[in-house]
Amino acid sequence: MKVYQKHNFFKHTYCEFKKQNIDFFKGKSTHYQSKSGSLYYYTSEGVYRYSNHWGRVANCRWKIKGIENYKNQNYNVGYANWEDFYPLNDVDKVFYLMVNFESKQVKIQRIKIKPEDEVFLMTSELANKRLKQIQTLFKEYKWAKYFNAEISVLRKKLILNLINSNKPLQLLKQEMKKEFD
């Protein structure tokens, strides 16, 4: 397993930072400032980051926990231990999706330990593609008019199929069409 520290944590990694007090950097001298203005403060255990952009960060995917409706241009401070960083590549199937149908939210999770329930593991690329597809399915409804079923039933069935297979969305819709005709 790769060991991350201040010299390599920013190279093709996935990490979920924990939200910190916005005033953390006041009175501290930063160790690094990126071209985009993000500030970094290193400790022996991890890194603090002050930034207005999270999600896709250069060649990394860095999230910040504690913010449900993240908006770029709002500054936040996050902290992550060095062991919270994981390699980001298109080979390792270490991500899965968690869906809350009531709030219509979907989140990418990185497997750390085996979850209680069986989950379908995906590469980062597939997980991000599925995330966008599911967000669209929660917003749009026109696709459902070709089916003979309630949209909430269709949506749930299609989304569950998406998070549990690597079949293309169009194929899953075609399979559902046969089922609901």
Question: Across residues 96-117, what is the average pLDDT?
Answer: 84
Q: From the DSSP assignment, how many helices (H) and strands (E) are in the chain?
A: 3, 10
Query: Would you say residue 7 lies in a domain?
Result: no
Range of the domain at 57: 13-87
pTM of the entire predicted model:
0.74
What CA–CA distance (Å, rounded) separates 128 from 126?
5
Token readout for 174 is 């075609």
- The size of the chain, in residues, is 181
Highest average pLDDT, of 41-50, 62-71, 136-145, 172-181, comes from 41-50
Q: Specify the number of domains making up the chain.
A: 2
What CA–CA distance (Å, rounded) separates 40 from 30?
6
Query: Could you tell me the pLDDT band of residue 116, with boundaries at 50, 70 and 90?
Result: low
Instruction: Single out the residue in 43, 58, 87 at which a domain terminates.
Output: 87
Return the H-helix or E-strand segment holding 17: strand 13-20
Query: Could you tell me the pLDDT band of residue 66, with boundaries at 50, 70 and 90?
Result: confident
Query: Would you say residue 54 lies in a domain?
Result: yes
Q: What are phi and psi of 179, to 5 degrees?
A: -70, -35
Sign of CA dihedral 1, 54, 40, 65: negative
pLDDT of residue 115: 59
Question: Across residues 37-62, what is the average pLDDT?
Answer: 93
